[in-house]
Structure 1
Amino acid sequence: MSPQPLAADLRSADDRDLPSRSDVLGAALSEVVGGRVGRHALIGRTRVLTPLRVMFVIGLVFLALGWSTKAPCLQTVGSGPPDSRVANWDNQRAYYELCYSDTVPLYSAELLNQGKFPYKSSWLELDSEGKPRKQYDGSTAVRYMEYPVLTGVYQYVSMSLAKTYTAVAKATKLPVLNGVAEVVMFFNIAAFGLALCWLATVWATAMLAGRRVWDAALVAASPILIFQIFTNFDALATALATGGLLAWARRRPTLAGVLIGMGVAAKLYPALFLLPLLVLGVRTGRLADAVRTSAIAAITWILINAPVILLYPRGWSEFFRLNTRRSQDMDSIFNVVRSFTGWPGLDAGLGFWEPPLLLNAVVAVLFGSCCAAIIYIAWTAPQRPRVAQLAFLVVAAFLLVNKVWSPQFSLWLVPLAVLALPHRRLLLAWMAVDALVWVPRMFYLYGEQNKGLPEQWFTATVLLRDLAVVGLVILVVRQIYRPTEDLVRWHGRIDDPSGGVFDHAPDAFPARWPAWLRPAVRTEDWDAGRDRAVPA
């Protein structure tokens, strides 16, 4: 009995998952702030330190750590106004200080420092002697902005703000302003927007997590942020892609299509989300909403890209041309095999910028096979898989078999892995391994002649990273076929918090759908077993 009269309002979010009681790691961490939540506490009633605000604070801490890892490369050198100064990258500083970011070299490489609009301006690719290089077909190698339109425009806006800073510094002649290089201010402005995008990703993940809202803390506190959040501009796409999933979960397919289309205009990977929606639309007989989302996404992408396509078609197509002619990247599984076996690769002896046709075909076949396997899993699982599970599988398969896995691409997986497989210790183990790949990568690029690391030290960590992701994939597939083990489903009481129109939707395959593409266990049998699994 309570020694005091009970409050008039006793509402409590008792269904919310409490990590300090349900998770060993959460229980250990809770000791830092006073221990586990009380058994008789009213959950969800605090007005200040709400879960989302706490996760924003955690996210700001890790974003600050991410900026601090880049700080050694942001030291200004030179004299004069900001546009006459540069960042200190002497003696391969970016490698041994682990502070490399594409943002700084791109500022001059893509002519942003000259105030030119991406896709309109071009430059010549030069060799080590400063002479224009020739392509495999004998033509001069001409370069344009290599990013999708939304990312390119984001860089242009950041550059415009950095130029405004320079103008103010010149007008005021204040030493505190003139002491910072324009390229450093460009990085800081771009990083500020990327930080906001990642906080939006944390918010959208928390909303998608439902009763497991604290799972999004892993997005805010991912070790991958420390090295990769400001390496490139991928946080733009993660915010839009995760926002698209949230719009779908809230049964707003048109808005979902707009956000996914914008995400594709920033980075192509959000287009992969459409496959799970269409596949589950077939299984539930609710294909119309999935088709609408796909169509709106395509229209949005076209509308964003159309002005650049019409005005600067050669510059717009550079992104696609670059990706077709790229060979196996140093982080790809193909390069790992080459590193340990001496295998020359699928397209040995190619000329400069000659497309690796065989490698491209193998990647396409491998990814197509993975997609076919994921579709089969989605249709034959005893209970319809969750949207986040299939989205994670598609993106993970794309990264594993692709010829390019740039370090910042791992950010794509963070919110999806948290939503698909909310096992905190497993996820933290994978994220830690993925984050640490950066260290041998930088020291390998620094060179053995400079007391760096041999290539195999780097490729070994890449292999460990790949094996960790494969392990997560296997666990997700296992839980798809054994839904009672899925923590999100909560012993069958919850179906799919991110499912939108698929949530609690029964199977409704077309009448003539082949039996081998239907669930091996009938839905009614699963429902009976699920009911028995729910504790009294």
Structure 2
Amino acid sequence: MTRFACYSDVQALWGRRDLGAHLFPYVSGTYQSDPPDVHGGTVEYPTLSGLWTWVTGLAAHSEATFLVVTALSFLPVVVLTTLALQRMAGRRAWWFAASPPLALYAVYNWDLLPVLLTAVGILVVLRAPASWSLGTRLTIAGAAFGTGAAFKLYPALFAVVLTLAVLLGAFDTRIADRVRHAALTAGSALGVVLAANLPFALVNFEGWSSVFRFQAARAIDASTLSIWYYGLLPWSADTGERTQHLLNSAATGATALGIVTVLAVMVWSARHRGTVDWVGACGAALAVYMLCNKVDSLQYALWLLPFFTVLRVRTGWILAYLAADVAAFVGWYRSIYYDFVGQVQPVWADQALAVGVWGRAVLLACLVVVFLRSAVVRDDGGALSPAVDRGWTRRTVPTPAS
């Protein structure tokens, strides 16, 4: 399998998480602490991902058929994502539809689901019918990001950014309107998250919390493909409790600091430049999360594709990141193959992996700045200027009196 860099969590977790037993997730789930693991038909992802695996698993009786059913269920997801991006950015939607990450990771994990909801959330704000009120747009966008967070946590960042943008005056000038619309945005996002999680937490708290306990206890090792492992070798190779605690603390602190910095830049821009570029801030917060978090899995490249499409990012940045990601993918699985056959000397796969890991890290750091400086594109692929955006993306905010 790894000789050809071919892998899917969908197949791997079928047996590892006992999905073939068709147990309703989280309700019968349990947590194992040594080594960290989850049981009872529960996957190590938020509740809606677990429900999706359960529903699609009902039609499958082997890991092969589960992969096929999952792939078929993702066909409308890919189509809808492409249409949403095309509605916003025209032909730039090819950055999603024809990209290497889509080919490599469409059925690698379940990440296409939050990607769709990310695209829908942005679309509703930027390109919803003119008859929809601003409150309706923001409520639906918040719900989309909240639903995405119930599949994978990262879209919660976008709900936070959008709420802050509303408060900063991205769409309203009156303070009362800002507060009301911010409450609608945050309330709809939080409401969906609670609706997707609270019933499971009440029925079986251990099964529901096993997801978070498992992810918190996951060791930072070579498989995380993060800067914390590869940048601190050989110390980071220690799997001892103290070392792992320090690594996790550093990753958590750096991620929080980076996200707060992005939000601070957005506030500064609103006060001193009079603009609130919330879509770019969402992309920047995501890039910080991918760079600083304890895990930067290969399929996370899918998360960036909506921002490569919707934001006016230069082609060179996109191609460079896609090339680094392919290098990481091929290098990682080819190096596993060489290890399996007993190759102990460094080979080209190790160099490809190094290029991929560090290339992605450097580019993510650059993309934080690139996203913050990038305008949203028109549906014909051009840059969106404040004069033609109807006030939904960039709006001049009154500069506070000195």
Q: TM-score range by the shorter chain?
A: 0.7 to 0.9
The aligned residue for residue 222 of structure 1 is 99
Q: CA deviation at 1:112?
A: 1.4
1:196 has 2:76 as partner: yes
Q: CA deviation at 1:120?
A: 3.4
Q: Secondary structure at the match of 1:161?
A: coil
Cα distance change, pair 436–306 in 1 and its aligned pair in 2 (3 A): same
Which residue, 13, 16, 21 being the options, matches 1:109? Answer: 16
User: What is the alpha-carbon distance in structure 1 between the residues aligned to residue 335 and residue 119 of structure 2?
Assistant: 34
Cα distance change, pair 268–474 in 1 and its aligned pair in 2 (3 A): same
Q: Which amino acid is 2:95 matched to?
A: L
Q: CA deviation at 1:324?
A: 1.1
1:327 has 2:237 as partner: no
User: What is the alpha-carbon distance in structure 2 between the residues aligned to residue 312 and residue 115 of structure 1?
Assistant: 17
The aligned residue for residue 300 of structure 2 is 409
- Measured against aligned partners, the alpha-carbon deviations of 1:178-207 in whole angstroms (never above 9, x if no partner) come to xxxx32111111112223212222222222
Unaligned runs of 5+ in 1: 1-93, 126-133, 164-181, 481-485, 516-536
The aligned residue for residue 55 of structure 2 is 157
User: What is the alpha-carbon distance in structure 1 between the residues aligned to residue 30 and residue 16 of structure 2?
Assistant: 9
Cα distance change, pair 383–124 in 1 and its aligned pair in 2 (3 A): closer
User: What is the alpha-carbon distance in structure 2 between the residues aligned to residue 506 and residue 475 of structure 1?
Assistant: 21
Residues 274 and 290 of structure 1 are in contact (CA less than 8 Å); yes or no, is this contact kept in structure 2?
A: no
Cα distance change, pair 257–111 in 1 and its aligned pair in 2 (3 A): same
User: What is the alpha-carbon distance in structure 2 between the residues aligned to residue 95 and residue 257 of structure 1?
Assistant: 40
Which residue, 146, 156, 169 being the options, matches 1:271? Answer: 156
1:441 has 2:318 as partner: no
- Measured against aligned partners, the alpha-carbon deviations of 1:428-465 in whole angstroms (never above 9, x if no partner) come to 33223213311011012224351665655423321012
The aligned residue for residue 372 of structure 1 is 260
Q: Secondary structure at the match of 2:59?
A: helix
Cα distance change, pair 445–102 in 1 and its aligned pair in 2 (3 A): same
Q: Which amino acid is 2:71 matched to?
A: A
User: What is the alpha-carbon distance in structure 2 between the residues aligned to residue 508 and residue 430 of structure 1?
Assistant: 37
User: What is the alpha-carbon distance in structure 1 between the residues aligned to residue 358 and residue 12 of structure 2?
Assistant: 28
The aligned residue for residue 292 of structure 1 is 184
The aligned residue for residue 208 of structure 1 is 88
User: What is the alpha-carbon distance in structure 2 between the residues aligned to residue 124 and residue 109 of structure 1?
Assistant: 14
User: What is the alpha-carbon distance in structure 1 between the residues aligned to residue 310 and residue 31 of structure 2?
Assistant: 44
- Measured against aligned partners, the alpha-carbon deviations of 1:452-483 in whole angstroms (never above 9, x if no partner) come to 65655423321012222223333334457xxx
Q: How many corresponding residue pairs?
A: 371
Which residue, 239, 244, 253 being the options, matches 2:116? Answer: 239
Q: Which has the higher contact order (CA 8 A, sep 6+)?
A: 2
User: What is the alpha-carbon distance in structure 2 between the residues aligned to residue 124 and residue 319 of structure 1?
Assistant: 8
Q: CA deviation at 1:348?
A: 5.5
Residues 38 and 211 of structure 2 are in contact (CA less than 8 Å); yes or no, is this contact kept in structure 1?
A: no
Cα distance change, pair 217–385 in 1 and its aligned pair in 2 (3 A): farther
User: What is the alpha-carbon distance in structure 2 between the residues aligned to residue 322 and residue 312 of structure 1?
Assistant: 16
Q: Which amino acid is 2:76 matched to?
A: L
Q: Which amino acid is 1:475 matched to?
A: V
User: What is the alpha-carbon distance in structure 1 between the residues aligned to residue 274 and residue 94 of structure 2?
Assistant: 28
Which residue, 362, 373, 390 being the options, matches 2:250? Answer: 362
Q: CA deviation at 1:103?
A: 0.7
**1:281-320 to 2 correspondence within 5 Å?**
281-284=166-169, 285=173, 286-320=178-212
1:257 has 2:151 as partner: no
Scaled by the length of structure 1, what TM-score is found?
0.63
Indicate the structure (1 or 2) with the bigger Cα radius of gyration: 1
User: What is the alpha-carbon distance in structure 2 between the residues aligned to residue 240 and residue 307 of structure 1?
Assistant: 22
Q: Which amino acid is 1:369 matched to?
A: L
Cα distance change, pair 198–314 in 1 and its aligned pair in 2 (3 A): same
Q: CA deviation at 1:377?
A: 2.0
Scaled by the length of structure 2, what TM-score is found?
0.83
Q: Which amino acid is 1:257 matched to?
A: G
User: What is the alpha-carbon distance in structure 2 between the residues aligned to residue 476 and residue 194 of structure 1?
Assistant: 28
Q: Secondary structure at the match of 1:274?
A: helix
Residues 422 and 487 of structure 1 are in contact (CA less than 8 Å); yes or no, is this contact kept in structure 2?
A: no
Q: Secondary structure at the match of 1:405?
A: coil
**1:330-349 to 2 correspondence within 5 Å?**
330=222, 331-339=225-233, 342-344=234-236, 349=240
Cα distance change, pair 448–141 in 1 and its aligned pair in 2 (3 A): closer
Cα distance change, pair 383–155 in 1 and its aligned pair in 2 (3 A): same
Q: Which amino acid is 2:57 matched to?
A: M
The aligned residue for residue 131 of structure 2 is none
What is the aligned-residue identity percentage? 26
User: What is the alpha-carbon distance in structure 1 between the residues aligned to residue 82 and residue 194 of structure 2?
Assistant: 28
Structure with greater helix share of residues: 2
